[in-house]
Chain A
Amino acid sequence: MSAPPDAPAQLQDSQFLEALRRQMLNFARLQLRDDDLAQDVVQESLLSALKNAGSFRGQAAFRTWLFAIVKNKVVDALRQRQRWVQPDQSADDDDAEEWLDRLFDRSGHWQPAQQPRPWGDPQRSFEDERFWQVFAVCLDHLPARQGRIFMMREYLGLEADEICNNTGLTRTNLHVILHRARLRLRECLGNGWFNGAA
């Protein structure tokens, strides 16, 4: 993939484009769980974004624009498909019961060391590039299905019913998965950023 000759110099950088393509592809694969479809979505998005490459002043702006296109195309693809051929019953949450026992004692109360502590001023964290690195690592560390469902809900903004239709999950399953994803992500951001040593 290369940029048109009249594109700004930053976009002639094939390493940048390749890294971007891989990033988008990882995201689309995770959400769509269909390699061919993910490739198509990313390819179309890149072509469409590169057509307008001349109007971007920098790589960051281009990246934002491209991500918005990929996001819309992924949402369209998910909605069109309506339902997975097979219900999504991957067993990557098998460890979750034990994991919850680490957070809560037998009577269901927070273990003392696991109680959420204050997070200070999150808005300021949002402006810190290092926060987003921690956020990305924490997302990656979620069990794959939890991460995907969490991003469908919170990033793609799909409603609970749409996610259930897409994945074949019951509402109860969906609630359990999102609860666990949020517990994990909250803990990871607390340890890795808000209440960490950094």
Chain B
Amino acid sequence: MLDCREATGLMSQARERPLSLRERWALRLHRAMCSACRRFDRQLDVLREAARRFASRADQPSADQDDAPPP
């Protein structure tokens, strides 16, 4: 039976390597019971997307005057 510390560890590793069948099964069981770890898993995706956008965020709409198109 996985505890939350181990479950979050596997969720993290799943971003670097394919999990084994056994690990996926254990994780699925844990997720079914633990809303905190389900959130953790989803929030890892947010971290990833945030890191990718981090330096290129000037692409995003911004209130910065320098970005304003000429009138």
Q: Do A and B come from one complex?
A: yes
Residues of A with Cβ closer than 8 Å to B? Answer: 10, 27, 57-61, 63-64, 67-68, 71, 100, 103-104, 107-110, 115-119, 122, 126-127, 129, 132, 135-136, 139, 150-151, 153-155, 157, 160, 171, 174-175, 178-179, 182-183, 185-186, 189-190
* B68 CB to nearest chain A CB (Å): 8
A118 partner residues in chain B, CB cutoff 8 A? 39
How many A-B residue pairs have C-beta atoms within 8 angstroms? Tell me. Answer: 115
Partner of A154, one of B3, B5, B6, B51: B51
* B70, closest chain A residue (CB): A57
Contact of A60 among B13, B64, B70 (CB under 8 A): B64
- The list of the 8 closest CB pairs from A to B, nearest first, reads A108-B3, A154-B51, A60-B58, A58-B66, A115-B36, A116-B39, A108-B5, A179-B12
Measured CB to CB, the closest approach of chain A to B54, in angstroms, equals 6
Asked if B20 lies at the interface with its beta carbon under 8 angstroms from chain A, I say no
Which residues of A have CB within 8 Å of B58?
60-61, 63-64
* Cβ distance B47 to chain A, nearest Cβ, rounded Å: 6
